[in-house]
A and B are shown apart, each in its own frame.
Chain A
C-alpha cells in the first residue's frame, strides 16, 4: 500500500487534529506532516474544516465574561507590554516636550544673540566713528596749538554780533584750518566759499556751510589774503565780490 495512503487511512491524522494522540503518536505525525506534502495538505484542510464548522456553530458569549476575564488577566499578570508602551509613550511625550522647550529657548537665545550682535556692531561702528572724530579733533587741536601755526581772525560787515571766523595757517606744514561760529544761515541754494588771493588773483580754497565748526581748507603758499563769499550751491569759478562776507590780510 502506498505510504501516504496508509498514513491517511490510519486515522492518526484525525486523532492528532483533535488532540487525542499520545506524545509519541504526535511526534510521529509531525514527522509525517513534514515529510509528505499530501499529508500536510490533508492536515491543513482538516484544520480549515473544523475552524469553519466552529464559526458556523458559534454562540454569543455574555459580555460579562470578557470583563471578568480581562480583570483576572490584569490581576494575575499586569500587562508589561501595555505598561511598557504607556511608559515609553509617556517618556516619548516628556522627551518631545523637553525637546520642544529646548528648541524654543534655543531659538529665543539665537534671536537674542543676533540682536546683541547687531547692537554690538552698531556700538562698535559708533565707537570707531567717535574715535575717528576724536582723532580728528586731537589733530586739529595739535595743529592749532602748534607754535608754527598762525592765527588770523576774519572780519566783515555782514557778520552778526556773535559771528566768528578764524583761520589757522601753517606755512611749515602747508595746512590751513578754518574755525567758524554763528555764521548767518544761508538759503538752501547757497553756500559759503573761501578764496585765497595770490598775485591779485582769487583762487578757490573750498566751500562750507554755516553749521560746520571746523573746515579744512586747501593751503596756498604765498597767499596774501583769505576771503569768504556767499555763492550759489556748488562752487563758483570767480568770487562774487558783492557778496563778500569777511576777509583777512596775511601780513
Chain B
C-alpha cells in the first residue's frame, strides 16, 4: 500500500500489472494535462496517453533512476510522443505558425474540460517567463522554435526558462514550508484542545 516508487518501478520491470496500475493512477492526470495542452484534441490526447503508458510498460527496463525521476522520464516520453504524432499529422507546422494563438482552444474541443488555462505558481511569474514556459513546456516547442516564435535570441529564451524554473522551485519550497507551518499549527491546536 505504501510502496516506494523505487519498489514500484522494480515491480514494473518484472511486469507486475498492479505496479503499472499504481503508476498510471499517479501520473496519468498530470501527463494528460500536458498532452491535451499540446494537442488541444481530446481523442488524440487519449490515444497519445495510452501510447505513453504502453511505452512505459514495454520499456520500463530502460528507465534508470540514477539519471532522472520517473516523472521526468515519463514527461520526456509524453513530449516526444506528442511531437511525433503531431508531426505525422502535419499539425505541428500549423501550431508553430499559430503560436500567437496559444491556449486559445476551440470551444468544441475543450467542451469536456473546464479550461486549459495554465494554473498554479507559474501564474505568479512575469508574463515573459510564462510565455517561454508555456511554449516549451506545454506546447513542446524546442528552444530554437520558441526563440523564433517569440522573436528572441536563443540565449534569452534559455535564460528565461532557467529563471522561471528556479523561481517556481522557490515558490514550491515556500508553499511546502507554508503547508508544513499550517500542519504544525493544526497539530498544536489539536494538542491544546485535547489536553
Contact = CB atoms under 8 A, between A and B. Distances in A.
A66 B32 contact: no
B76 A18 contact: yes
Nearest to A51: B71
Interface string B113-143: 1001011111000000000010011100011
B16 A82 contact: yes
Given A47-B71, A52-B121, A72 B33 contact: no
Interface stretch (B22-30, B84-92, B93-101, B183-191): B22-30
B119 A81 contact: no
Contacts of A52: 120-121, 168, 172
Q: Could you tell me the dominant secondary structure of chain B's interface residues? A: helix
Interface stretch (A54-62, A90-98, A154-162, A172-180): A54-62
A12 to B, nearest CB: 9
Interface in A3-56: 8-11, 13-15, 17-20, 30, 42, 45-56
Given A18-B136, A69-B54, A81-B17, A50 B165 contact: yes
A47 B68 contact: yes
B185 to A, nearest CB: 23
B76 A19 contact: yes
A147 interface: no
Nearest to B175: A52
Interface residues of A, number: 45
A45 B72 contact: no
Given A9-B159, A11-B155, A61-B49, A50 B75 contact: yes
B62 to A, nearest CB: 13
A120 to B, nearest CB: 58
26 contacts: A8-B162, A11-B159, A11-B162, A14-B158, A18-B137, A19-B75, A20-B142, A30-B67, A45-B166, A46-B169, A49-B165, A49-B168, A50-B165, A52-B121, A53-B137, A53-B168, A54-B33, A54-B75, A56-B122, A59-B36, A69-B50, A70-B21, A72-B50, A73-B17, A73-B54, A79-B17
Interface of A: 8-11, 13-15, 17-20, 30, 42, 45-62, 65-66, 68-70, 72-74, 76-77, 79-82
